[in-house]
Chain A
Amino acid sequence: GAGVSQSPSNKVTEKGKDVELRCDPISGHTALYWYRQSLGQGLEFLIYFQGNSAPDKSGLPSDRFSAERTGGSVSTLTIQRTQQEDSAVYLCASSFMGLAGVYNEQFFGPGTRLTVL
């Protein structure tokens, strides 16, 4: 596709339920990032994928959060046993992984707004 796409655009769930958020990066982009935007914490990094591997998971807030990427393309962020503090907009970004030290712009998707009741 032309840009990064995410689905669903909105998700309302009950506390304690599991949710899955999907990201389709720009074709050919090997790097993929998940961020979270909330009123209290602002924009925060969650996890980084290079291909199907996640060498940087340093931003995941708890073990209820996990993510995977398959075929070097689509990524799914899963939140188990959702809590109200998980309510936020989850943004995905992708970039072309070029040479080390060379700037690789991140392109952001439209986000998924998650509301936990």
Chain B
Amino acid sequence: ELKVEQNPLFLSMQEGKNYTIYCNYSTTSDRLYWYRQDPGKSLESLFVLLSNGAVKQEGRLMASLDTKARLSTLHITAAVHDLSATYFCAVDSPGGGGSEKLVFGKGTKLTVNP
């Protein structure tokens, strides 16, 4: 059974600081996703990482994937308050009939303080 673990689950940081969120998964997968969720809102896709060594950057966020280590990281550079949200990583778990259901980590609740 595929398991996805994120850490930390809670992260409080000051504006301007850097930090990394880690996502480990238990079985081979070539697709990893990062989502953002604001309180009371749905999931917003941030990054899709499709191959080993993939690195994607958007603004102050950068995501990378190491399929050999089964590890993805989401790096936050010079955090700003607007980045406060919960971040989820998710991995494809193929199922019957072409299902590409996602298995999610528990999420990292990020709070950026002024």
For the complex, give the distance between the alpha carbons of A96 and B53 in Å.
26
A residues 41-61 in Cβ contact with B at 8 Å: 42-45, 48, 50, 53, 55-56, 58-59
Known: A48-B95, A91-B42, A111-B42. A104 touches B103 (CB 8 A): no
* Cβ of A75 under 8 Å from chain B: no
Cβ–Cβ < 8 Å partners of B13 in chain A: none
Per DSSP, chain A at the interface is strand
* Cβ of B21 under 8 Å from chain A: no
A95 touches B107 (CB 8 A): no
Interface residues on A, range: 20 to 34
For the complex, give the distance between the alpha carbons of A110 and B43 in Å.
8
A14 to chain B, nearest CB (A): 23
| 20 A–B pairs (Cβ distance < 8 Å), ordered by A | A31-B100, A33-B101, A35-B102, A42-B106, A42-B107, A43-B90, A43-B102, A45-B101, A45-B102, A48-B95, A48-B97, A48-B99, A55-B96, A56-B99, A59-B101, A91-B42, A91-B43, A106-B102, A108-B43, A109-B42
Q: Which residues of B are interface residues toward A (Cβ below 8 A)?
A: 31, 41-43, 45, 48, 50, 88, 90, 93, 95-107
